[in-house]
Amino acid sequence: MLHNHFPLEVSHLVKTYALKNGVRVEAVRDVSFYMKPGEVFGLLGPNGAGKTSIISIITTLEKATSGSARVFGEDVDSNPYFTKKQMGVVHQEIVNTGFFTVNEILKFQSGYYGIRNNNERIDYLLEKLGLKDHREKNVKQLSGGMRRRLMIAKALVHSPKVLLLDEPTAGVDVHLRESLWQFVTELKSEGISILLTTHYLEEAEKLCERVGIMNKGKIVFMGSTQEAIAQYSTKKVYIEFNSGEAAVYTETASAGLVEILAHHKIQFTDIKNIKIEEGRLEEAFSKMVNT
C-alpha cells in the first residue's frame, strides 16, 4: 500500500488556540497517526486531550496551527472538495435543528453531497438506526438517543469511505451503546475506515484494532490495543491449591501461564482451581495518562 493512500493520515499536527485574554491553549502538540483501510482506529484520551480539535482540523472547521491532515493522500485544506466527499462526520455535540423533520434533514444532507434521489439509502439508514417510525418527526420531538442516531444517519447518507465518530456513545444509554457498537462492526465489515474517539475504554477494547492514546495534546502511546494492554496492564492469577490454600499473583499482561507457574515454582498437580483475570485497557490507559 502506498504511503499516501492511507484513508487518513495526520502528520505533525499542532493546534494552539489564542484566547481573547492572551492565554494560549496548546490543544494539539505534534500529533501524527494514520489509519489503515478498513480498520477502526481509536483515539483515546481524557477530556481536553485534544481529540475534538484534531477532528475539527480534519473537517476544516478549524485551521491547524501547523502540520497537515490528508485523506486518501489529499490535503484537507488544498483539496477540501475531494476530502469532504470521502468523509462522514458525527460531531460530539448534538445538533438541534429546530425547523426540519428527520426526512428533510437527510434529504438536504444528501443534496449537499450532490445526491438527488437518495431515498433507498435514506430508508436503509433509518431502518438500520431504528428511526423509521420517526422520519416525519421534527428534531425537537426526538429523544437524545434518537438525535444521536440521526446524526449518524446524516454522516452516512453519501456512503463515505471514512467515518469520523467523535465520542458517539457519550451520554448514551447502555442499550443504544451496544447497538451502536454492533453498527460500527457492520460498517467496518463493509470496508469503511473508522476513526473513533472515546474515553470509554471498554468501547475501544471491543472495537479498535489499534489505538492512539492522547494526553494533554500529545500521543503517549500508539499501537495495537493488545500491545497497549500487554505493555501497560497487569493480569491477576487466582490459584486455589489442593491443600486448601489460595494465592493471587499479579503479573505483566503479556506473561504466559506456564511462565508464571514456573516462576513461582508451582506444580500443576498441586492446583485445584485457577482463575485468570486478563489485563484491561482501562488500567493501561490510566497508567499512561496519569503520569
Contacts with another protein, residue ranges (CB under 8 A) = 59-61, 80-81, 84-85, 87, 89, 91, 93-100, 104, 107-116, 154
Quick one: 65 or 97, whose CB is closer to another protein? 97
When CB distances are held under 5 to 8 angstroms depending on the partner's kind, the choice from another protein, Mg ion, ligand ADP, none that residue 50 binds is ligand ADP
99 contacts 48 by C-beta, under 8 angstroms:
no
Which residues ranging from 242 to 281 are in contact with Mg ion (CB under 5 A)? none
Quick one: 8 or 253, whose CB is closer to Mg ion? 8
Q: How many CB atoms lie within 10 A of CB 88?
A: 25
Mark the segment that binds ligand ADP (CB under 6 A) among 17-25, 111-119, 128-136, 234-242.
17-25
Instruction: Report the distance separating Cα 27 and Cα 218, nearest Å.
Output: 9
When CB distances are held under 5 to 8 angstroms depending on the partner's kind, the choice from Mg ion, another protein, ligand ADP, none that residue 27 binds is ligand ADP
Joined together, the cell numbers standing for residue 55 give: 477532528
CA dihedral 25, 29, 32, 37 (to 10 degrees): -20
Residue 96: CB minimum distance to another protein, A:
5
Which residues ranging from 63 to 92 are in contact with Mg ion (CB under 5 A)? 92
Among 33, 52, 151, 156, binds Mg ion (CB under 5 A): 52
83 contacts 71 by C-beta, under 8 angstroms:
yes
Instruction: Report the distance separating Cα 234 and Cα 91, nearest Å.
Output: 34
When CB distances are held under 5 to 8 angstroms depending on the partner's kind, the choice from Mg ion, ligand ADP, another protein, none that residue 114 binds is another protein
Q: How many residues does the chain have?
A: 291
When CB distances are held under 5 to 8 angstroms depending on the partner's kind, the choice from ligand ADP, another protein, Mg ion, none that residue 53 binds is ligand ADP
Quick one: 139 or 237, whose CB is closer to another protein? 139
**Which residues are registered as beta bridge partners of 198?**
44
Question: What b-and-e string marks burial along 129-141, b requiring 16 or more CB atoms within 10 Å of the CB?
Answer: bebeebbeeebee
Beta strands in 66-135 (DSSP E): 66-71, 74-75, 87-90
Give the CA angle between residues 235, 239, 243 to the nearest 5°.
165
| Strand, coil or helix: 151 | helix
Mark the segment that binds ligand ADP (CB under 6 A) among 48-56, 76-84, 139-147, 246-254.
48-56
When CB distances are held under 5 to 8 angstroms depending on the partner's kind, the choice from ligand ADP, Mg ion, another protein, none that residue 230 binds is none
214 contacts 220 by C-beta, under 8 angstroms:
yes
If one asks whether residue 153 binds ligand ADP (CB under 6 A), the answer comes out as no
Residue 87: CB minimum distance to ligand ADP, A:
18
- How many binding residues for ligand ADP (CB under 6 A)? 12
In what helix (H) or strand (E) does residue 51 lie, and over which residues does it extend?
A: helix 51-58
Quick one: 51 or 84, whose CB is closer to another protein? 84
Residues that bind ligand ADP (CB under 6 A): 17, 19, 25, 27, 45, 47-53
